[in-house]
Amino acid sequence: MSFSQTLVDRLAAARHVAVLTGAGISAESGVPTFRDPDGLWARFRPQELANVEAFLRNPVLVQGWYAHRRRLAQEVAPNPGHRALARLEELVPAFTLVTQNVDDLHQRAGSRAVVELHGNLTRSYCIDCRRPAADAEAGPAHGREEGPVRCPACGGLIRPDVVWFGEPLPAEALERATEAAATCDVFLSIGTSAVVYPAAGLPLLAVEHGAYVAEVNVERSAIAAHVHEVVLGPAGTVLPALVEAVAARQGRGG
Ligand code: BJW
Ligand code: ZN
């Protein structure tokens, strides 16, 4: 693990830092990633579960998968990587944390304005009347003999408030993320394979607009060749060290 002095200096002097996180930042909390060999989708290909057709074809399977993930996310805790980003937010004048994750761990680590691109597991709603569903209504569905979880008001299927393939991202979140990528001085892309768009386009947009862009990942992502710096290592180790170096550079260490 090694980051450059340039990255430290740029972060310490930045007016606006933007960050994009993916499943890799939560891996050290015990949340499986999507595309790693032991990831969430090792048994199912992403397209098989994360789209509305799969949900309509087999709502019990998809509701059960999300109920399992919701329970897991509630059981685990933020790790030093999440906490380091919450601290970085305090060190710079403007900070935008954009996440593809739905596990709520950034919020629980104390990050304030989190831009959720792919929704949040803690919320569910009815696909027919759009009424938000309470946690108890959202699951667990796994093993239910009586079929899928349905809306008490209209009988529609209850789905997680997440963004599946082929669905538009929440407009306001995407707008805020795009604006941040286009105007920040430094952009960090952390723990994402950078294969899912439009999220994966954000670091590239930041490069185009003149930001210094660094990736933090245990391996090079799909966009590694296009960024200024790749920091190889686990986010839970790299980020605390990086943020400590930034604080020290600003004379606020310790
Ligand atoms: C560590 C680590 C450690 C491990 N430390 N690192 C342009 C080109 C091609 C295709 C498209 C395009 N634009 C749109 C598309 C289509 C599609 C898409 O991108 N397809 C590609 C896969 C080909 N995109 C969409 O469909 C999107 N919608 C859309 O574009 O709508 C347009 C529209 C407009 C108007 C009307 C209608 C439509 C929606 C995408 C939704 C993605 N949803 C999911 C599921 C969310 C719900 C859920 O959680 O179940 O989001 S898919 C899944 O992938 C999830 C993730 O957020 C997302 C990204 O995954 P992520 O986070 O990168 O995880 P991994 O597992 O891939 O990577 C983990 C990384 O961590 C690895 O690199 C490891 O090395 C690393 N790592 N341990 C640091 N300790
Ligand atoms: Zn309903």
Cα 5 to Cα 9, 89, 134, 229, 242: the distances in Å are 6, 20, 48, 11, 10
Same domain, yes or no: 53 and 139: yes
Q: Which atom of ligand 1 approaches the CA of 22 most closely?
A: 62
Q: Which atom of ligand 1 approaches the CA of 166 most closely?
A: 26
Rg (CA), the chain: 19
Same domain, yes or no: 195 and 225: yes
Q: How many CA atoms does the CB half-sphere of 58 hold within 13 Å?
A: 12
Q: How many domains in the chain?
A: 2
Residues 140-159, mean pLDDT to the nearest whole number: 81
Same domain, yes or no: 132 and 40: yes
Q: What is the pLDDT of residue 95?
A: 98
Same domain, yes or no: 143 and 251: no
The CA distance from 45 to 67, in Å, is 18
The CA distance from 194 to 219, in Å, is 12
For residue range 168-204, list pLDDT tens digits in order.
999 999 999 999 999 999 999 999 999 999 999 999 9
Percentage with pLDDT > 90 across the chain: 84
> Cβ neighbours of residue 79 under 8 Å, at least 6 residues apart?
25, 26, 28, 29, 105, 236
Q: Hey, whose CA ends up nearest to atom 10 of ligand 1? A: 197
Q: Which atom of ligand 1 approaches the CA of 46 most closely?
A: 52
Segments of 74-228 assigned E as strands: 94-99, 114-116, 119-126, 132-133, 158-162, 186-190, 212-217
For residue range 3-53, list pLDDT tens digits in order.
999 999 999 999 999 999 999 999 999 998 988 777 666 777 766 789 999
Q: In this structure, how many other beta carbons lie within 10 angstroms of the beta carbon of residue 82?
A: 28
The amino acid that residue 180 corresponds to is A
Q: Which of 162, 185, 218 is a domain's end point?
A: 162
Q: Hey, whose CA ends up nearest to atom 7 of ligand 1? A: 197
Where residue 1 falls among pLDDT bands split at 50, 70, 90?
Answer: low
Same domain, yes or no: 8 and 132: no
Answer for the pair 209, 181: CB distance below 8 angstroms, yes or no: yes
Same domain, yes or no: 40 and 110: no
Q: Hey, whose CA ends up nearest to atom 31 of ligand 1? A: 168
- The residues lining ligand 1, judged by C-beta closer than 6 Å to any ligand atom, are 22-24, 27-28, 33-36, 39, 46, 50, 100, 102, 118, 162-168, 191-193, 195-198, 217-219, 221, 234-235
> Cβ neighbours of residue 82 under 8 Å, at least 6 residues apart?
25, 26, 29, 105, 106, 108, 109, 111
Same domain, yes or no: 17 and 136: no
Residue 253: give its domain's CATH number: 3.40.50.1220
For residue range 101-143, list pLDDT tens digits in order.
999 999 999 999 899 999 999 999 999 999 999 866 666 544 4
Active site residue 118: yes
Give the orientation angle of helix 201-208 with respect to helix 171-183, to 10 degrees.
40
Same domain, yes or no: 11 and 103: yes
Q: Which of 134, 162, 190 is a domain's end point?
A: 162
Same domain, yes or no: 201 and 244: yes
Q: Which of 1, 63, 165 to mutate to test the pocket of ligand 1 (most atoms within 8 A of CB)?
A: 165
Q: Which atom of ligand 1 approaches the CA of 160 most closely?
A: 47
Q: Which of 109, 142, 162 is a domain's end point?
A: 162
Q: What is the pLDDT of residue 10?
A: 98
Same domain, yes or no: 177 and 247: yes
Residue 150: give its domain's CATH number: 3.30.1600.10
CA-wise closest residue to 180 among 205, 197, 198: 205
Whole-model pTM: value is 0.95
What is the span of the domain harbouring residue 191?
A: 1-31+78-118+169-254
Same domain, yes or no: 233 and 143: no
**pLDDT, the chain, mean:** 93
Catalytic: which of 16, 106, 118, 142? 118
Q: What is the pLDDT of residue 141?
A: 47
The CA distance from 37 to 118, in Å, is 22
Q: What is the pLDDT of residue 47?
A: 65
CA-wise closest residue to 190 among 248, 238, 247, 249: 238
Q: In this structure, how many other beta carbons lie within 10 angstroms of the beta carbon of residue 16?
A: 16
Q: What is the pLDDT of residue 142?
A: 47
Q: Hey, whose CA ends up nearest to atom 34 of ligand 1? A: 168
Q: How far is the CA of 15 from the centre of ligand 1 (A)?
A: 28
Same domain, yes or no: 66 and 133: yes
